[in-house]
Amino acid sequence: MKEEHFLKNIFSSNDFKENELELILPKFRQVSFSKNDYLLQEGITENHYWFLESGFVRSFVNDLNGNEITTNFYGQGDIVIDWSSFFLRNPTRENIQALTDCVCWQLDFETFQQLFHSIEAFREQGRRRLVSSYFALKNQSVSLIADEAKERYSRLIKDKPHIVQNVSLQHIATYLGITKYSLSRIRKEISL
């Protein structure tokens, strides 16, 4: 029995016609990254759009003191991208790095544009994903200001348990805007 193509989970036949899938799926190229490989580095313009099939990835920036501050985590099925660099064609300020060995499905900018402008379902799905990513980013930035660290950690456990189980405490702590010592204390409080 032939294994179902990973991207058929992303581009569901409920949303796409079979002839559209036949145009879309072959445009993606499978790419593997080893742990610690960079998918994108600061100063480079994002030229790829990846769907993560397996593994974990994070995006991060360096603060004024040179500390790495995690801005997002990505797991199976997520789009790994710096949206503003990709669409505005400007150099990124973020780094995107594999936390584990990863398998991704890559689409380059020019091909993305062709599909975006020629297949309405592809365009609509892209818009939905972009809007969803924007809202998640907005909620995270507001949460860093308005919520207690314990509440932020509890939300991460609820929304992305696979991240909490597979990513280092140091990366989780910087994502939550706290030290790893504070995170250890919060984890002890929650487990009681």
Q: Which string of DSSP letters, residue by residue, matches 56-77?
A: -EEEEEE-TTS-EEEEEEE-TT
DSSP code, position 91: B
| HSE of 192, CA atoms in CB hemisphere, 13 A | 6
* pLDDT category of residue 9 using cuts at 50, 70 and 90: confident
Domain extent at residue 73: 7-146
Specify the pTM.
Answer: 0.88
What CATH code is carried by the domain that includes residue 55?
Answer: 2.60.120.10
Is 64 a member of any domain? Answer: yes
* pLDDT category of residue 2 using cuts at 50, 70 and 90: very low
Is residue 115 located within the same domain as residue 136? yes
- Specify the number of domains making up the chain: 2
Is residue 123 located within the same domain as residue 167? no
Cα torsion 73, 87, 113, 96: sign: negative
Residues 20-57: tens digit of each pLDDT: 999 999 999 999 999 999 999 999 999 998 999 999 99
Residue with tokens 């969803």: 132
Is residue 123 located within the same domain as residue 52? yes
Is 34 a member of any domain? Answer: yes
